[in-house]
C-alpha cells in the first residue's frame, strides 16, 4: 500500500522549478540572450501563465529604476528613516491610486495630503477629525490593527507600464520617530557621564566608574536598536497595501453583457407603458361617470 504523496515546501518547489527551467533551456539549446517572445514560448511549454510571465518581465525591467532606501551609517546602525517597497500590479495608475487611498483611509486612518496623477501622499490627522476617525475605527470589526501609526507621511509613486500594469513604489517617512529613539538613547550616556564626573569629584575608584559607564552605554545602544521593531512593523503596513492590490486588482469593471442591458431597458419601457395604460383607463372611467 503506497503512503501519502510527498509534499514540498515553498523553497524546495522554487528550486525544482528553477532546475526544470534550466533543463528545458539546455534541451532547446537556448543562447545567451532571449527575446520576450522566446521566453513566452518557453513558458507556454512548461505551463506558466502568460500574464505571470509578462508581469515578471516588467518587474525585471523596472529593477534599478526605483527609489532605494538610504544606506548611511545611522541607517545601518539604527534603521532607515525612509522605508521603500515596490511592486508591479495589475491596473491603470488612476484606479490603483484610488484603491490605495481607500485602503489607507480605512486600515491605516490616513488622509490624502497631496494627489497628482503620478504621486499621492497621505498623512495622519492629529486634529479633532483624526480623533473622531480613531473612535469610529475602534468599533469597525472589519479592519485589523494599524501598522503605520508611527509614520509621519506615506507616499505612493505610480508609474504606468504596459497596458493593464502599473509600477507602485510606497515610501513611509519615519524621520521624527527615529529622531525620538536616537534622542532618547543619547540621554543615557550623558547621564552616565555626569554621574561618572560626580563620582570622580567624591573620589570613587576608577574601576567602579568603568563598571557603571559600560551598562549605561549598553542601555543607550539597546534603546536605539529597538527602533528596528518600529521599522519592521511599518514595512508590514506597506506590504499589506501591495498585497491588497494583488488580491483585488484595480481593474475596470466589465460592462454587463448586451442581453442583460436589453432586458433591463425592456423592463423599464414596459413599466412606463403599464403606467400610461393605467392612467388612460382611469381617465376613461372618470369620463363615463
C-alpha cell at 278: 393605467
Rounded CA separation 64/234 (Å): 23
Q: Which is more confidently placed, 61 or 162?
A: 162
Residue 185 has pLDDT above 60, yes or no: no
* Three-state SS sequence of 76-142: HHCCCCEEEEEEEEEECHHHHHHHHHHHHHHHCCEEEEEEECCEEEEEECCCHHHHHHHHHHHCCCC
Q: Which is more confidently placed, 45 or 268?
A: 45
Least confident range of 25-29, 181-185, 262-266: 262-266
Confidence of residue 24 (pLDDT cuts 50, 70, 90): low
Least confident range of 34-43, 174-183, 260-269: 260-269
Q: What share of the chain is helix, strand, coil (3-state, %, to 5)?
A: 60, 15, 25
Q: Which is more confidently placed, 17 or 256?
A: 17
CA distances to 20, 35, 41 from 26, rounded to whole Å, are: 10, 16, 15
Q: Which is more confidently placed, 257 or 83?
A: 83
Question: 227 CB contacts (<8 Å, ≥6 apart)?
Answer: 78, 79, 177, 178, 181, 182
User: Residue 47: exposed, middle, or buried by beta-carbon count in 10 A (0-12, 13-18, 19+)?
Assistant: exposed
Rounded CA separation 172/125 (Å): 16
Residue 173 has pLDDT above 90, yes or no: yes
Q: Which is more confidently placed, 35 or 146?
A: 146
Percent of the chain whose predicted confidence (pLDDT) is above 90 = 24
Question: Would you state the pLDDT for residue 121?
Answer: 96
Mean pLDDT of the 176-184 span = 82
> Average per-residue pLDDT in the chain?
74
Question: Would you state the pLDDT for residue 208?
Answer: 46
- Strands 110-116 and 82-90, by their bridges, are unpaired
Question: Would you state the pLDDT for residue 181?
Answer: 82
CA distances to 14, 25, 85 from 41, rounded to whole Å, are: 20, 11, 31
Least confident range of 106-115, 140-149, 166-175: 140-149
Confidence of residue 238 (pLDDT cuts 50, 70, 90): very high
Name the region of 175 (left: φ>0; alpha: ψ -120 to 50; beta: rest). alpha
- What sign for the dihedral angle of Cα 130, 133, 135, 140? negative
Locate the domains of the chain by residue range.
Answer: 67-251
Rounded CA separation 162/53 (Å): 13
Confidence of residue 147 (pLDDT cuts 50, 70, 90): very high
Name the region of 94 (left: φ>0; alpha: ψ -120 to 50; beta: rest). alpha
Least confident range of 104-113, 149-158, 189-198: 189-198
- DSSP state at residue 167: E
Q: Which is more confidently placed, 19 or 127?
A: 19
Question: Would you state the pLDDT for residue 235?
Answer: 95
Question: Would you state the pLDDT for residue 101?
Answer: 95
Residue 250 has pLDDT above 60, yes or no: yes
Amino acid at each position: 500500500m503506497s503512503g501519502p504523496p510527498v509534499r514540498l515546501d515553498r523553497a524546495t518547489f522554487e528550486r525544482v522549478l528553477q532546475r526544470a527551467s534550466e533543463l528545458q533551456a539546455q534541451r532547446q539549446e537556448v543562447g545567451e540572450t532571449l527575446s520576450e517572445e522566446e521566453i513566452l514560448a518557453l513558458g507556454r511549454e512548461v505551463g506558466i501563465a502568460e500574464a505571470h510571465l509578462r508581469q515578471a518581465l516588467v518587474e525585471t525591467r523596472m529593477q534599478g529604476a526605483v527609489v532605494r532606501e538610504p544606506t548611511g551609517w545611522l541607517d545601518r546602525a539604527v534603521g532607515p528613516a525612509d522605508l521603500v517597497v515596490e511592486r508591479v500590479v495589475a491596473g491603470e495608475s488612476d484606479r490603483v491610486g484610488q484603491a490605495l487611498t481607500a485602503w489607507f483611509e480605512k486600515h491605516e486612518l490616513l488622509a490624502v495630503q497631496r494627489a497628482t496623477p503620478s504621486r499621492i501622499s497621505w498623512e495622519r490627522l492629529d486634529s479633532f477629525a483624526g480623533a473622531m476617525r480613531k473612535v469610529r475605527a475602534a468599533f469597525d470589526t472589519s479592519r485589523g490593527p494599524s501598522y503605520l501609526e508611527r509614520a509621519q507621511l506615506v507616499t505612493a509613486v505610480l508609474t504606468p507600464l504596459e497596458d493593464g500594469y502599473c509600477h507602485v513604489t510606497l515610501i513611509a517617512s519615519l524621520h521624527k520617530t527615529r529622531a525620538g529613539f536616537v534622542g532618547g538613547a543619547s540621554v543615557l550616556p550623558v547621564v552616565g557621564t555626569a554621574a561618572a564626573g560626580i563620582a570622580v569629584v567624591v573620589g570613587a575608584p576608577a574601576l567602579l566608574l568603568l563598571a557603571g559607564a559600560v551598562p549605561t552605554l549598553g542601555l543607550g545602544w539597546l534603546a536605539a536598536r529597538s527602533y528596528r521593531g518600529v521599522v519592521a512593523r511599518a514595512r508590514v503596513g506597506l506590504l499589506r497595501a501591495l498585497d491588497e492590490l494583488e488580491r483585488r486588482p484595480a481593474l475596470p469593471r466589465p460592462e454587463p453583457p448586451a442581453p442583460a442591458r436589453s432586458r433591463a431597458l425592456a423592463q423599464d419601457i414596459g413599466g412606463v407603458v403599464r403606467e400610461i395604460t393605467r392612467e388612460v383607463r382611469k381617465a376613461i372611467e372618470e369620463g363615463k361617470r
